[in-house]
Every structure is written in C-alpha cells, then in structure tokens.
Chains A and B, each alone.
Chain A
Amino acid sequence: MSLTFDSARLANPHLTSDHESWRGQLRKFIDAEIMPFADDWDEAGEIPIELWPKAAAVGLLGMGFPEEFGGTLEGIDSWHNWIANEELARIGVGGIPASLMVHGIGLPPVLNWGSQALKELVAPQVLAGTRHIALGITEPGGGSDVAQLQTTAVRDGDDYVVNGSKTYITGGMRANWVSTAVRTGGAGAGGVSMLLIPTDTPGFSRTELDHKQGWWASDTATLYFDDVRVPVANLLGEENRGFNVIMTNFNGERMFMAAAMEACGRVCLEEAVQWAQERKTFGKRLADHQVIRHKIAQMKQKLNATQAYIRVCYESIEAGNPNPGDIALLKVQASETMEFCAREAMQILGGSGYMRGNRVERIYREVRVNAIGGGSEEIMRDLAARQYGV
C-alpha cells in the first residue's frame, strides 16, 4: 500500500465502468493539455482561450447539460460530476477549474428559468466553449447577505435600465453574458430578480481584480452598470422571484467546491507522503519519525471522513432528497479538511514546500477562497442551524 491521489480514495460502490472510463480519459486530457502548462498559466494570471473548445470536445463543458444544446445529460449522474471535480482539482491550480467551469454556476439560471429563445442563443455557444458566461451576485456593498443587494433594474418600456456594480465575479473579464442578480422591487429578498446581461451592451464596463491571494489563473472582475438597457425578455424566472433562482443554484456549487476541496487535500497528502518517504533526517526517513507519521495518518483520517460525507450527500441528490443544511456543513467539513491538509503537508515539505511552483504551496494559498467563496464557513453553519430548526 502507498498513499497516492488514487490509492487514498475510498472505494465507491456506485462507480461503474463508464465512470472509470471517464476518469481515465479526462485524466489523459488534463495530463496532456493542462498539467504541463498549469504553473505558467497561473503565474501569467491567464488561461489561453483555446482551452475552452478543447474542454468542450472532450465533453467536460457539456457534462450534465441537455443534448439539445450540445451537452451530455442522458446517463450522467453525480458520480460523473464528482470525478470531474476531483480530476480538475488534481491539477493543483484552483484558478483553472474556477474559470474553465464557471458556466456551471452561470448557465443553470438560463437553462432552468430563461426563455427558449434565450437558451438557444446562449447555451450552445457556451457549451461549445466559443463564448462565455458568468454569475453576478456579490456587490461591493455586500456578498453573503444576498437579499440586501443594491444593483437596480428599473422597467422602462420593453427594457430594464440597470445601475450598480458587482465584484469578485469569477470569469467576469471573459464573460459575454452575466446572469445577474438585480433589484426590481422593494427591499429584501422579495424584490430581487435575475437578469441575463450581455456584456457588449452600452453602459457596461469592467476592471480586473488581479491582486488575489490565490486562483491567479482565474480572471476575476468588478462589473459596472451605468444605465445598461436590457430587454425584459432577458429576465430569468419571474420578476421579483430571483431569490429562488439564486438559492437553487447553491447546492450544486457547494458540492462542486466540496469535492474539489477534498481532492486538493488528497493532493497535499500525496505530495507529503512522497516527500516523507524520500527525505532523510537524523539518519532515517521523515516517514519513520512518529511525529510525521501521525500527521500523515491524521490527514488521511480527515480525508476519509470528508469523502464518506461527500458520498452521502451525492447519494441524497441521486435519491432526489438533498438536505441543504447537510450540504452547507459538508462545505465547511471540506474547507477545514483542505486547510488542515495544506498546513500539515507544508510542515512536512518544509522549505521545499514554501517555494512557488509546487501544488502544496498553491493549495495553501487557495484555502481561503474556498472557505469564503460559495458561502463562507460562518454563513454555512448559520444556514445549517436554520435548516435544522435550531
């Protein structure tokens, strides 16, 4: 036995030959088309635009989306998703999946709530990787408290006139469309609508947020709306029912993030174990020192617990009865596990781990974006407590 990314994965009885085949082919794609360049892309703060059509061709972008728009839906289940999230996290450059797969949060509002014409315009191009979509919720004035957002959309004839701004928008610099949360009504959750805003509309502008702790490869933007006129037909769902659209989006995003975080923790384990078995101190391998062995065992312990929890949540999704409280707490479980594994792996790697250009150093810097983005640990616990009726 050894502890590698693959051998440290608990057996999952739900996996069939097509799941394993998907993992194998996706890994080949990633190892050839992404892995050799990942470091450079992260340092450069940009992913080449050619990657999207390539990811579309291997079926990654279309996974879980309807065939009529160029996706693959029939037979796709949570386990295909888990595998994709794991394999993308294995790159060890979080900005790549964050940016490449951002349509995973930007497109569902269009497909679930938009008009047929809107779906036909947007979805085929996004799933082919030729055009891009992002999700715009967070504002400079607040993130977690979605119900209080301040960007307004005022009805004027057949248009809404949008004013305000959004920030920390992943994929925001590249996006051709943004599924945007706006205030169309009164205060609170009941005045929020979702609107698909094309970024080539006059009055739209954006600036890049390029001084981030992690996720360097991912473009992150602040978006500005100055009297941006958007057709009423671009409404996603009913007017003033946008809060519901936003909330139904979150479970998928949190599962995506939890799966990725556990896999990042496993990358840390793999790197730490490999180093501990090679490096010699005081006449023996690092791995022969009890203090190091215990660190490794504890990392595996927490990864095991997180993997089992992920599986339970995916099982509940497959059964059609997911519990949002459990999924919120899974996200906390996963970010704490990632944080622990990044810390312990860094302690084991020592100076070599501290140098840029290795996966542990990067994952260490990408703990916080995972612990905060998609719902902070504090908000997740609060949401869970409310779900449980405490």
Chain B
Amino acid sequence: MKVLVAVKRVVDYNVKVRAKADGTGADLNNVKMAINPFCEIAIEEAVRLKEAGVATEVIAVSIGDKSCQEQIRTALALGADRGIQVETDGSPEPLVVAKLLKGVIAKEEPQLVILGKQSIDGDNNQTGQMLGALTNMPQGTFASEIKVEGDKLNVTREIDGGLQTIALNLPAIVTTDLRLNEPRYASLPNIMKAKKKQLDVYTPADLGVEPSAHLTTVKVEPPAERQAGIIVESVEQLVDKLKNEAKVIS
C-alpha cells in the first residue's frame, strides 16, 4: 500500500510570533521554521504503517518555495521513502493546496493520504476536507487511531463529547489529531541518509493546476494586551462589575 503524506513548513511552535508593524502579516525574518506538528504526526503514522508491514512506500509531499525541501528532508529522515516538492511562491491558500495535492494523487495513486488536521500558522482546518471533496475520496478527519483491515480503514475520530469510529473504503484521506501518536526524533545517521533519497520537484503546471487566489489578508494584528486585574471590595461590587462593565450577566 502506497501512503502519501503532506507536510507543511511553518514557524516553529516555540516561537513567539510578532505581527509586522504595517499589519501585512507575521514577521518571519530570522525565525526558526519547522514541520507543522500535525504533519509530523501524519509522517509518524505512515512510517508506523510501513514498519508494521501494512504500507510499502511512504511519500512526503510539500508545497512551497525551495526552503520547504528542508521539511521534506526531515520527513525523509523520519522514515519516508521519497519526497515531492510542488514549487510555488510562498504558501498558497487551502483550496490551491488541495488542488495541487489532487494532482499529486493522480500521478502517484496512493491508497492512503494522511494530512495534519490543520497547520499552526493559518489554522484553517480545510485542506483535508477540500481534498476529499475534489478527489471524491472518503475522509476520516481528526483521527486519534487508524487501523487498516483489508481494503477498509477504521478511523477513530475525536469529536465533541467523545470518540467516533467510522469505516472507510480505501483509497481514503485521513487528517491527524494530536493524540494519534507521539512522533519520534530523526537521528543524525538517518538525517544523513535522507540526503540520498529521491526528491522530485514539480511545478503547478506539471500537475495541471493554475494557482489562483480567492482570499486576501486584510490585516494581521497582535491580540489585545491583557489588562491587569483588580481586587473587588464586596460581592455587590463584583456583581455590579460583571453586569455593567464586563456585561456577562444581566
């Protein structure tokens, strides 16, 4: 079974991101970048399927400029067999990403596609679902456990108030939640071996896609600074403030 995993280059989750002074975006100058944590979980799951003898090949795909090859190489060091970069300027919006991934699926014909449920920069939580719609493949989102049984895939999903297990026909799309697994570290020897693994570069045109923008970022600003608290003198004062200042009770 061939498994395709999407990985995205994002700001490292430890970095305290700042908005640019002109409000056009986040300041990424000299900022540490990493694989999106949910994508890392996706890679780990695919590698575990391979180690269990279920998957035969794991392909890591990323979309972006040349710098995203760094994240593809990390995915290869974590255990993916080969990589694909779809070269675009910057980071396209979810619908474009989904169309490009559809193009990669048409070329590679994987049985299973694993994506992070969302990326920690855009927090869109759209790509997996859009990809399901575009390819007409069944989708299991927010997976906390997956099990391949013959040509079926059981996906346990984290939903409001509990867990839901659904059975999908393969080929299928899965998006990962936080508890699916705990990703390993890539060791230095594996990082060095990953340099020799195959990495193909496609343009959107190779995949028959014309990137188009439907979204415009109007403004990026930091969250409002938290005001200092006060100690109220009495219950009456508390009720008064909740009613008239905070307006949370009436």
In the complex, which residues of chain A have a beta carbon less than 8 angstroms from the beta carbon of B27? Answer: 1
B52-60, B67-75, B110-118 - interface stretch? B67-75
Contact with B along A53-76 (1 / 0, CB 8 A): 000011110110000000010111
Chain A residues near B (Cβ < 8 Å): 1-2, 4, 6-7, 9, 11, 17-18, 20-22, 24-26, 28-29, 31, 57-60, 62-63, 72, 74-76, 80
In the complex, which residues of chain A have a beta carbon less than 8 angstroms from the beta carbon of B31? Answer: 6-7
Given A62-B189, A63-B188, CB of A25 within 8 Å of CB of B77 = yes
Q: Kindly provide the distance from the CB of A68 to the nearest chain B CB, expressed in whole angstroms.
A: 13
Given A1-B29, A7-B30, A75-B195, CB of A22 within 8 Å of CB of B188 = yes
In the complex, which residues of chain A have a beta carbon less than 8 angstroms from the beta carbon of B33? Answer: 20
Q: Kindly provide the distance from the CB of B183 to the nearest chain A CB, expressed in whole angstroms.
A: 8
Q: Kindly provide the distance from the CB of A11 to the nearest chain B CB, expressed in whole angstroms.
A: 8
B170 within 8 A of A: no
In the complex, which residues of chain B have a beta carbon less than 8 angstroms from the beta carbon of A4? Answer: 15-16
Question: Are the CB atoms of B187 and A18 closer together than 8 Å?
Answer: no
Question: Are the CB atoms of B70 and A62 closer together than 8 Å?
Answer: no
Question: Are the CB atoms of A29 and B185 closer together than 8 Å?
Answer: yes
Q: How large is the interface on B (under 10, 10 to 19, 20 to 34, 35 or more residues)?
A: 20 to 34
9 A-B pairs (CB sep. < 8 Å): A7-B31, A17-B69, A18-B194, A24-B32, A24-B74, A29-B185, A58-B185, A62-B189, A75-B192
Q: Kindly provide the distance from the CB of A116 to the nearest chain B CB, expressed in whole angstroms.
A: 23
B147 within 8 A of A: no
In the complex, which residues of chain A have a beta carbon less than 8 angstroms from the beta carbon of B70? Answer: 17, 20-21
In the complex, which residues of chain B have a beta carbon less than 8 angstroms from the beta carbon of A62? Answer: 188-189
Question: B188 contacts which of A1, A17, A31, A72 (Cβ < 8 Å)?
Answer: A72
With A1-B27, A58-B188, A74-B192 known, 8 other A-B pairs at CB within 8 A are A4-B16, A7-B31, A21-B74, A24-B35, A25-B187, A58-B187, A59-B191, A72-B188
Q: Kindly provide the distance from the CB of A146 to the nearest chain B CB, expressed in whole angstroms.
A: 33
Question: Are the CB atoms of B192 and A18 closer together than 8 Å?
Answer: yes
Question: Are the CB atoms of B188 and A60 closer together than 8 Å?
Answer: yes
Bound together, the chains give a CA A20 to CA B188 distance in angstroms of 11
B186 within 8 A of A: yes
Question: Are the CB atoms of A24 and B34 closer together than 8 Å?
Answer: yes
In the complex, which residues of chain A have a beta carbon less than 8 angstroms from the beta carbon of B188? Answer: 22, 25-26, 58-60, 62-63, 72, 76, 80
In the complex, which residues of chain A have a beta carbon less than 8 angstroms from the beta carbon of B192? Answer: 18, 72, 74-76
Bound together, the chains give a CA A143 to CA B126 distance in angstroms of 65
B243 within 8 A of A: no
Q: Within residues 180 to 228 of chain B, which ones have a CB less than 8 A from any CB in chain A?
A: 185-192, 194-195
B152 within 8 A of A: no
B18 within 8 A of A: yes
Chain B, residue nearest A2 (CB): B18
In the complex, which residues of chain B have a beta carbon less than 8 angstroms from the beta carbon of A6? Answer: 15, 30-32
Q: Kindly provide the distance from the CB of A312 to the nearest chain B CB, expressed in whole angstroms.
A: 21
Question: A1 contacts which of B30, B187, B190 (Cβ < 8 Å)?
Answer: B30
Q: Kindly provide the distance from the CB of A293 to the nearest chain B CB, expressed in whole angstroms.
A: 18
Contact with A along B5-24 (1 / 0, CB 8 A): 00000001011101000000
In the complex, which residues of chain B have a beta carbon less than 8 angstroms from the beta carbon of A29? Answer: 185
Bound together, the chains give a CA A9 to CA B189 distance in angstroms of 26
Bound together, the chains give a CA A302 to CA B191 distance in angstroms of 33
Bound together, the chains give a CA A7 to CA B69 distance in angstroms of 21
In the complex, which residues of chain A have a beta carbon less than 8 angstroms from the beta carbon of B187? Answer: 25, 57-59
Bound together, the chains give a CA A58 to CA B195 distance in angstroms of 17
- Most chain A CB inside 10 Å of its own CB: which residue of B15, B18, B73, B188: B188
